[in-house]
Amino acid sequence: MAERFAGAPVAALILGSSLLAFGPLLVRLADVAPVASAFWRMALAAPVLVAVALWRRPGPIGHLPWRLGVAAGAFFAADLAVWHAGIVRTTTANATLFANTTAFMLAAWGLLVLREKPELSRLGPLALAGLGAILLLGQSAEASPKNLLGDLLSLAAAAFYTLYLLVVMRMRDSHPTATVIALATVASAAFLLPAALVAGGAFWPEDWRPVVALAASSQLAGQGLMVFASGRLPASVLGIGLLVQPLVSAAAGMLVFGERLSALELSGASLILLALLLVRR
């Protein structure tokens, strides 16, 4: 494990996951409806990603993984639509906590379907990171009937994102990062446009800054790095990387809003950091 998980893939995973942590804040800042913000995230990123994919020469059009690309786009569109809807119907902590159950869904898939060996060197850090996320967000999370719909939507988003990552991992077996993310992004935008129009609410932004920032940080950089890492790391290690997001959210709260972490929350942050160190050994 020492050689395989060191270097660029793990660094890309951590940085990509960190950038994705700012998504909920930008969704709340956007002056459009939640599903519309998901559409603009994909639509604004798509031309850049397609240009990069063409520049990298993906090969004959007929040889591209169109079916897998459409499947990835459909799962990603469903993930974004339900999560963006969930973010505004529950607390940020709840949305982050439930959405990051993807980490454990990926690990379960790896063990039960891909028959990955249940190595302590993988599952130990995942368990530590999961416990750390619970301790870090547990005091902020709120079990309340008013949050139930948002919590369920965030949990559904985790399931859709798991399916998206599994399709992406399959595509990455034989296609470069630029091709995979370009296909998935264009397909997602195509699915999200009618969904945004049917969902109603504000569609055209008056202030473009939040949706442009969402496209740049979450899709171009965040997802780009995640797709790059997905072709080089096993499912259980990807899951650990996803649990960086609660840590980054907490750090942002401290820096931007002057929030202080309790001893329990600091313990949670320490466990996530320890898990990252262990997986890089």
What pLDDT shows up at residue 1? 41
From the CB of residue 212, how many other CB atoms can be counted at a distance below 10 Å?
A: 17
For residue 269, give Cα distances in angstroms to 95, 128, 159, 264, 275: 18, 10, 25, 9, 10
Regions of the chain where pLDDT drops below 70: 1-6, 58-60, 62, 92-93, 112-122, 137-144, 252-261, 279-281
Per-residue pLDDT tens over the stretch 74-98: 999 999 888 878 877 777 667 777 7
**pLDDT confidence of residue 77:** 94
User: What is the predicted pLDDT for the residue at 3?
Assistant: 43
* Structure token digits, residue 181: 């993310």
Q: According to the model, what pLDDT value does residue 121 have?
A: 66
Looking from the CA of 7 toward its CB, the CA atoms found within 13 Å total 9
Tokens 């262990």 locate to 278
